Copies of this chain bind each other. A is one copy, B any other.
Amino acid sequence: MGTQASPRGRNPRGQGDRLRAEIIDATLGLLDELGDDQALSMRAVARAVGTAATSVYLHFADRDALVLATLRHCHDDLMRAADEAAAGSDDPAEQLRARVLVLGTWSRRHPGLYRVMHESAVNRRPETAFRSEVADSTTAAVRRCMDAGVAPAGDAQLVALDLRAAVHGAVALRLSQPQLDWPPLTAQIDRFLTRLVGLPAR
């Protein structure tokens, strides 16, 4: 329980940011366990890092700032994963599929973090505008499919919204009731790609 890290030594002069990185890292872990940003306590973060509770305030103004910074970190990681997955193919359809599947695999690897990113009250604050990047990249991928003719022409933004909603719903249902046994997510996502976007069946 008392996941007290080894008594950390002080950082050398120029590297005061090292503690900052450790704090964000610990916060990522805690948020993933908790699945709720409101349940995160500064003291728990400090305990996990092995530092004094007040030392967190040297790098983050308050709890909200810490959560926000951590979620931004999280978001960048998710975006990078999506971009990397899409880079594996030249086919726009495969790129869209890869991009969407990343959401599924990422949510399985970091269930709590996925929940915090999508359900937390922080999303209602303007500082989390970065979240729209994921939406925009999906819309762009859908549009490329239409332009390439692998998907019927249409309102890319609306189609992308339908796809995002469906995929998020599929993921969210699985996260909220993990004790049930769900049919494979990948097949469900493929159905969404076929029926909502109009990609050819695999």
Contacts and interface: CB of A to CB of B under 8 A. Distances in A.
B161 A188 contact: yes
A179 B124 contact: yes
Contact of A172 (B36, B172, B183, B188): B172
* Interface majority SS (helix, strand, loop, mixed), chain A: helix
Contacts of A39: 38
A140 interface: no
A172 to B, nearest CB: 6
Given A169-B164, A172-B168, A121 B188 contact: no
Nearest to A185: B165
Contact of A118 (B121, B172, B196): B172
Interface string A5-45: 00000000000000000000000000000011011000000
Interface in A156-172: 158, 161-162, 164-170, 172
A177 interface: yes
Given A165-B169, A166-B165, A158 B183 contact: yes
Contacts of A164: 169, 173
A150 B161 CA distance: 26
A191 interface: yes
Interface string A95-126: 00000000000000000000100110101101
Most chain B beta-carbon contacts within 10 A, residue among A124, A195, A196? A195
A192 interface: yes
Interface of A: 35-36, 38-39, 115, 118-119, 121, 123-124, 126, 131, 158, 161-162, 164-170, 172-173, 176-179, 182-183, 188, 191-192, 195-196
